[in-house]
Structure 1
Amino acid sequence: MEKAQTESHLSITSNYINIELIKEFLEELQINAYHGWIDEDVMNHIAMVLKMIYSIYIPGVYSHQLRMEIFPLLLADEAKQWWINEGEGKITIWEELIEKFLCKFYPESYDGEEEMLEE
């Protein structure tokens, strides 16, 4: 995936989609980044990601494509490092991403996993 950044937007280009994200949306992503800290709510983060993505409509782009492109942008610190080591280029399906993400950052319980996978 290529990323070209300018002052006002970020352009994401992959084999599947080419979208531009405006500065305000990028700032919202950074504010809501998941760091992998023990006091962060993993399930709330996933729900927030889905809510953000479902508010976006781009003709010809499916929601699963947006999920896979935007989710890594919502990671920072330990969570970002996990994605670089374990996910980037290896995980291509949303369900697999959520399963591995929960296994890493919410290993005690998978309450709500089925609901998150089906959305």
Structure 2
Amino acid sequence: MAFVILEAGDPLGNSLTAHATNIPGCITYPAVEEGSTFEIKHHMLSILPTFHGLSTDDPNMHIAEFLMGCKNILVKGLSAESIKLRLFPYTLKDQARRWLLTLPSGSISTWNQLSEKFLNKYFPASKTLDMRLSFAQKPNEQFHEAWERFKELNRKCPHSGISSTDQVHIFFRGLNMTTKTLVNASCGGSYKDKNAQEACLSFEKMAADTQ
């Protein structure tokens, strides 16, 4: 067992007393122009979203809304990259904020690194594949409802890398037999006779007609 050597005269209780420590941050900020200052004001945070890290939170939508908000925040002498790195931590709450504090000191120096780590944590590749490959039309779900739900899944995982052609196949395979017949009839024989863009346009038209 190793013993901590206290300075002469230090009470033994000092070794058990909690002390505030300066925890190094995981983000290294870009250099700013000489004389520039940055103060986070209430109106900046008020236009930014918040993310708590719950299973119901949408990390992709959080980033999209964050970037939209950042476009309206301009600070002389600071790049857009620097503004995003400085503001993003303040959009994280509860367990999401605690996750950020666990990252290694100085491990992030760009917005791409930060957003990638965030998505890898809250929207890993396994979740992307599960959402896409498990798609199936629900009982009593109308075509337009299934199509809108599938597009919402695509919106939630834009980083999946699944091609538009494969997306069309995944959607069609998830439909019930009755709907598949209607889709092929709407496409003039078979949806496979069209390219991905044409098939999506046909799906959009069919969704509008059935709705």
- TM > 0.5: yes
Which of 24, 46, 59 is 2:43 aligned to? Answer: 24
Which residue of the partner structure matches residue 37 of structure 1? 54
Residues matched between the structures, number? 99
By how many angstroms is 1:62 displaced?
0.7
Which residue of the partner structure matches residue 104 of structure 1? 121
Which residue of the partner structure matches residue 71 of structure 1? 88
Q: Greater Rg, structure 1 or structure 2? A: 2
Tell me, yes or no, if structure 1 residue 46 matches structure 2 residue 92: no
CA RMSD of aligned residues (A): 2.3
Between structures 1 and 2, the one with greater strand share: 1
Q: Which runs of 5+ in 1 are unaligned?
A: 1-13, 115-119
**Residues 30 and 109 in structure 2, CA contact (< 8 A), matched pair in contact too:** no
Q: Which runs of 5+ in 2 are unaligned?
A: 1-28, 129-155, 161-211
Which residue of the partner structure matches residue 8 of structure 1? none
Runs of 4+ in 1 over 4 A off after TM superposition: none
**Residues 87 and 97 in structure 1, CA contact (< 8 A), matched pair in contact too:** no
Q: State the identity %.
A: 28
Structure 2-normalised TM-score?
0.42
Which residue of the partner structure matches residue 150 of structure 2? none
CA distance in 2, matches of 1:103, 1:50: 18
SS in 1 for 2:40: strand
**Residues 22-61 of structure 1: CA distance to partner in whole angstroms, max 9, x if unpaired?**
22333444xx320100001111100111011111111221
Q: 1:87 to 1:97 in 2, by over 3 A?
A: farther
Structure 1-normalised TM-score?
0.71
**Residues 35 and 76 in structure 1, CA contact (< 8 A), matched pair in contact too:** yes
Tell me, yes or no, if structure 1 residue 58 matches structure 2 residue 104: no
By how many angstroms is 1:75 displaced?
0.4
Deviates more, 1:105-114 or 1:68-77: 105-114
